[in-house]
Amino acid sequence: MIQRLWAWLTGYLVLKFKGPGVEILFNRILDADWDLWDIERLSVDTLIAKISIKGFRKIRPLVRDLPVRINIVGKYGFPFYLNKAQTRYFLFIGFIVFAILLYYLSGFIWFVQITGLEQVSKEEVIEILIDQGVQVGTRKTDLSPRSIENQIMSEISEIAWVGISVRGVLAKIQIVEKSMPDPSTQLVGDVIAARDGIITQVMTFRGIPQVRVGDTVRKGDVLISGEYYDQYGRKQHGRAEGLVRARVWYEAIGEAAFYRIIQQRTGNSHTGYVLKIGGKELGFRKKPPFENYVVEKSDWKLDIVNGFQLLQTTKLVYYEVVYETVVIPEEEARALALMRAWEMLEAEGIEKHKITETQIREYTIVDDYGVRIGLLVELEDDIGAFASAKQE
Amino acid sequence: MAKLLKAMTDILELPSDIMMSLPKIEIIGNMEATIENHRGLLEYTTEQISIRGNKGITLILRGRKLRLKRLYKEEITIQGFLLDIEFSID
C-alpha cells in the first residue's frame, strides 16, 4: 500500500518489452538496484512491466547491446498529473483566483451574532453597532473591538459588560446586562390592615410590630411600622415586611322571591304591513286589538344606493300575551337565595370548599314575598397589605 | 567450511536463511509465492518461472497465468495459480 502510494507520488511508467532475452535485462536492472513490478507476459516475446521514472532513465544504457525494444505504454502518477495541469492554464488561473478571492473575502465580517440580550432591545444595540461600522461587509481590520465595546457601554446604561470577538467571518457580540433591582422592593413603608379583624398571629420580618395577638384592628390601621431609630437615635424610614393573620368576617345576603311572572302567548295574532318609499312612511298601521302583545318584525328592503332605501316593506305580527304569576315553592326560593349569597362571597375571593361548617352563621328572614338569607363567614386570613410611605 | 557453518547454525539454532543466505520461500495457498535471497530471474513465462538461488540452487515454479507482482533486488513475488515447485542443484 505504502509502496503503491510512493510510486504514484514519484511517478511511474508502464513499459512494453519486445524481443528475446528480457530476463537478462531484468537481472541487469535488479543488479543496478531498480525495482520492477506488475510484470505480465502478453505473448511469447512481449512483456509489460512498471518502473519508476528514475529507474527508466537508468535502464537505457543497460539495454543497448540486447535485442530488446522498449516502448512506453502509459505514464502515471503525480508528476504527470502536474504536467497535465500546466497545459490547462485556465484551470490553474481559476484555482489561484479562487484562492485569492477566498482569502480576500475572509477578511470581511459576514455574520453578526448578538447574545445575552433580555431587557435591552436588540435594535438599540444594532443601531450603535452600525454607527460604529459593525455590519455585514465590514473589513475585519477596520474593527476596533475595544472602542466599540466602550461605546455600547456608555450609550446603554443597562449593560454591564460587552465582549466583541471576531472568529473567521463571524463577529460575536456578547452582552451582559446589569441586573436591576425590582423597584417595588425599594419602597419604604408600613404593613397596614386590609380589613377589620382580630389579630391571631403576627410575624415580623422587618420593621416594628404595632399590634399584638388579640387586638382588634380596623381597615387601614398600621400593623407593622417601617419607621425605626438607628444607633444614633435618628428616625429612619424602612420597608416593613411581615405576615399578620387575623380573624375576619365576610357577610353576604342572598334574596329570592316566592313569585315569578311569566309571559304566555294566547295564540291570537294580528298582522300589519308598513310601506316606506324614499324614507317616507305610508301607514297602513292599525292599532292591534290586544291589550298586551309582543311584536315580531320582518323587513324587506330594496337598496339602490348604499344607505338610501328606495322601497321598504315591514311585516308586523302582533301576538296577544297574558301574564301569569307562578308561585315558587319555599324550598326552591331558599336554595336560590343561599346560592346567590355564596356567589357574592366567592366574588370576594372566598373558596367555599375551604370553609368548615363551624365558621358559617346563617340567618333567614322570610316574609310574604320572599326569603332573604344572610351568610356570615368567619375565617383566619392574612390581612397585611403594604402601603408605601410618602417620601419626605 | 560449509559443513562447519551448517553445524554451527544447527547447534546455535540460528535462522539458516540468514546464516547461509539460502533462498527463503513463502507460499500463500496456491496463489502467491515470495522468494527472498534470490540471485536473479532465469526464465519467465506464464507457465514457468525459474529463479536462481545461492549455492547452485535453481527454483522452478510451475503454474498457470503466472505474473511477477514484484521484481526487487531482495525479493520476488509471484502471483497466479501455482501447481508445483521444483529444486534443482547443479
Q: Domain B20-89 has what CATH class?
A: mainly beta
ipTM for the whole complex:
0.82
Residues A328, A334, A337, A342, Cα dihedral to 10°: -150
Helix (H, G, I), strand (E, B), or coil: what is residue A34?
A: coil
A33-48 pLDDT, tens digit per residue, is 888 999 999 988 899 9
User: Given a cut of 50, is residue A392 above it in pLDDT?
Assistant: no
Smallest CA-to-CA distance from A46 within A24, A69, A67, A18 is with: A18
Per-position DSSP letters for A92-144, written without gaps between them: HHHHHHHHHHHHHHTTB--EEEEE--SSS-HHHHHHHHHHTT-STT-BGGG--
User: Given a cut of 80, is residue B50 above it in pLDDT?
Assistant: yes
Chain-chain contact of A47 with B44 (C-beta, under 8 angstroms) = yes
Band the pLDDT of A356: cuts 50, 70, 90: low
Per-position DSSP letters for B5-66, written without gaps between them: HHHHHHHHT--HHHHS---EEEEETTTEEEEES---EEEE-SSEEEEE-STTEEEEEEEEEE
Question: A2-82 and A111-177 share one CATH topology?
Answer: no
Please name the residues in contact with A347: beta carbons below 8 A apart, sequence gap of 6 or more.
none
Average pLDDT value over all residues in chain A: 82
User: Given a cut of 50, is residue A364 above it in pLDDT?
Assistant: yes
CB-defined contacts A:B, below 8 A? 49
d(CA A134, CA A113): 11
A146-182 pLDDT, tens digit per residue, is 888 888 888 888 888 888 888 888 888 888 888 776 6
The mean per-residue pLDDT over the stretch A185-202 comes to 83
Hey, which CATH number is domain A111-177, 3.40.309.10, 3.40.50.1980, 3.10.20.310, 3.10.450.50?
3.10.20.310
What pTM does this model have? 0.39
User: Given a cut of 90, is residue A15 above it in pLDDT?
Assistant: yes
| Contact yes or no for B23/B58 (Cβ under 8 A) | no
Using alpha carbons, list the distances in angstroms from residue A311 to A272, A281, A300, A304, A314.
Answer: 17, 10, 8, 9, 10
pLDDT at residue B4, as a whole number: 79
| Contact yes or no for B50/B43 (Cβ under 8 A) | yes
Highest-pLDDT range among A101-110, A260-269, A351-360, B5-14 = A101-110
Residue at grid coordinates 553445524: B7
Band the pLDDT of B80: cuts 50, 70, 90: very high
For A31, nearest residue in chain B (alpha carbons): B73
User: Given a cut of 60, is residue A330 above it in pLDDT?
Assistant: yes
Test mutation, B58, B64, B68, B75, chain A, max A CBs within 10 A: B68
User: Given a cut of 60, is residue B32 above it in pLDDT?
Assistant: yes
User: Given a cut of 90, is residue A100 above it in pLDDT?
Assistant: yes
The C-alpha of A65 sits at a distance from chain B's nearest C-alpha, in angstroms, of: 18
> When comparing pLDDT for A211 and A350, which is higher?
A211
The mean per-residue pLDDT over the stretch B41-59 comes to 89
Instruction: For domain A2-82, give the CATH number.
Output: 3.30.70.260
Of A205-219, A228-242, A271-285, where does mean pLDDT reach its minimum?
A271-285
User: Given a cut of 50, is residue A309 above it in pLDDT?
Assistant: yes
Band the pLDDT of B66: cuts 50, 70, 90: very high
pLDDT at residue A82, as a whole number: 79
Test mutation, B37, B44, B71, B77, chain A, max A CBs within 10 A: B71
d(CA A54, CA A69): 19
Please, which residues 57-86 of chain B have a Cβ atom closer than 8 Å to chain A? Answer: 67-73
- The residue extents of the domains of chain A are 2-82, 111-177, 183-258+328-392, 259-327
